[in-house]
Amino acid sequence: MENLEKKYGFWTATAMVVGIVIGSGVFFKADDVLKAAGGDLATALTAWLIGGSIMVVTAYVFSKIATRIEKVNGLVDYFEEAYGEKAGYLVGWFMTFIYYPTLVAVLAWVSANYTAGLVGVKDALWPLSFAYLTGFFLLNYYSPVLAGKWQVSSTVIKLIPLGLVAIVGGIAGLSSGQTMQNFMQTAEHISGSGGGLAVATLSTAFAYEGWIIATVINAELKDAKRTLPKALVVGTLAVMTIYMLYYIGISGVLTNEQVLVQGDAAPVRVIEMIFGSVGGTLLTVFVIISCLGTLNGLIMGSARGMFSLASRHLGPRADLFKQINPTTNSTSYSAILGYFLSAFWLLVWYGNFKGWWGQFMDISELPIAFLYVIYISIYIWVMRTFTDLNVFSRFVCPVLAGAGSLYIIWGAIQKDMFMHFLILSLLIIGSGFLLMNSSKRN
């Protein structure tokens, strides 16, 4: 990594942060946040503000880590540096078997949900979800270069629906008085319990997730020690601002109750009411491309999960999982495992809607909360060892980020089936611990 050219400046790095974070969550979590907030717009916006603030301060702390560790492959390397090879391996196992595949499964479903709504084939939702999941794994398996180009193209398109809803809806709401009415009038008919501000903040965490990936660009930044912290803070602040303006834009056209009724289709409904069905259709296409861009990015991570462990000669069959296809330059067996794990979690997600589990196991939010548990350990390490930092960077920011992490974890504890997911996760991580040195023994 040290031989990579220092080719990126502040604005390029900031654009990378924005492009990585903005994805699908803001589109299909708008109604979830409002529902958790008890139908109160002010509480929902507060949740978006708190969630965004946690992202900003957390990104700042991690930027300090990224600028001093030569290995810049993200969270696994940081945890390994802080607590040793075994700890880094277990974090990598969690990312491989739980974090990436759960989010891949949800993103495949979200993309299919918008597609099914666009073409009017709701009965094909689950087959289409499986088709998207399979198709993008095949793309990453057979042509990782093409997958990378798709990632760049979809990033630009992501901002179009957000900008349209934010500007058009915001102006319309201020002109008609709808925005102020929503602030004063809480939605009356909400199915189930809201959950409160902490649960609403947890719902925003999915939309704000992804910034950690941006730390790997540090080796290619000019004056990285100054550029990366600024880019991460400005980029995450920009995302938070865009999201809140988008949310206000929705509330400028739809009442709080209408947002809850429309669900994931709320942004499309906003544009339809202003520009007609053609505008709504066009916006849906942009949203689908945005979701598929996020899906592709997560699959790029999932396809490399087991490879990153095997390259350290850890885990089962490291000799197999560290193999790279000489023709396509893809992580062959690691990608295949990532595919089957994602398919498993898609089945779990399907079971939620079919009532298989009795309650709803929200794998779009609970894995992210677990990640914040890992973050707290990193903050403690920063405060103990980064003695050259000033008080603000070494203590104030990690403490604030830690408080934010605890708040998100508190929201997760209140979710249905939290204990079930915790036990399942501990069993999966425990199996990884038992298999940690199996390759070395063989």
Q: Does pLDDT of 219 surpass 80? A: no
Which has more confidence, 36 or 19?
36
Q: CA dihedral in degrees (249, 253, 255, 259; nearest 10)?
A: -60
Q: CA dihedral in degrees (159, 161, 165, 166; nearest 10)?
A: 0
> With DSSP H G I counted as helix, E B as strand and the rest as coil, what are the percentages for the chain, rounded to 5?
80, 0, 20
Query: What's the average model confidence in pLDDT over 206-228?
Result: 74
Question: Whose structure tokens read 């023994």?
Answer: 441
Please give the pLDDT value at position 305: 87
Tell me which amino acid residue 365 is: E
Q: Does pLDDT of 4 surpass 60? A: no
Rounded Cα gap, residues 157 and 296, in angstroms: 14
Instruction: Identify the three-state secondary structure at position 435.
Output: coil
Q: What is the DSSP string of 125-190?
A: HHHHHHHHHHHHHHHHHH-HHHHHHHHHHHHHHHHHHHHHIIIIIHHHHHHHSHHHHHHH---S--
pLDDT digits (tens, 9 = 90+) for 397-441: 999 999 999 999 999 999 999 999 999 999 999 999 999 987 666
Q: Which residues, including other chains, have CB under 8 Å from residue 241's CB and lie 6 or more apart?
A: none
Query: What's the average model confidence in pLDDT over 366-393?
Result: 94
Instruction: Calculate the average pLDDT of the chain.
Output: 86
List of E strands, 49-131: none
User: Could you count the other beta carbons within 10 Å of the beta carbon of residue 372?
Assistant: 22
Superfamily of domain 10-441, CATH level 4? Amino acid/polyamine transporter I (1.20.1740.10)
- Going by the DSSP 8-state scheme, the letter that residue 86 receives in this structure is H
Rounded Cα gap, residues 139 and 150, in angstroms: 10
- Going by the DSSP 8-state scheme, the letter that residue 9 receives in this structure is -
165: tokens are 């809803």
Q: Which among 111, 145, 141 has a CA at the least distance from the CA of 126?
A: 111
User: Could you count the other beta carbons within 10 Å of the beta carbon of residue 86?
Assistant: 12
Q: Which among 417, 265, 427, 259 has a CA at the least distance from the CA of 352?
A: 417
84: tokens are 């040793």
CB 298 within 8 A of CB 330: no
Under the banding of pLDDT at 50, 70 and 90, the label for residue 101 is very high
Q: What percent of the chain has pLDDT over 70?
A: 90
CB 78 within 8 A of CB 65: yes
Rounded Cα gap, residues 334 and 317, in angstroms: 11
Under the banding of pLDDT at 50, 70 and 90, the label for residue 2 is very low
Q: Does pLDDT of 129 surpass 60? A: yes
CB 82 within 8 A of CB 347: no
Q: Phi first, then psi: what are they for 435, rounded to 5°? A: -95, 5
CB 170 within 8 A of CB 253: no
Tell me which amino acid residue 43 is: T
Cα–Cα separations (whole angstroms), residue 130 to 29, 213, 284, 285, 336: 21, 26, 20, 19, 15
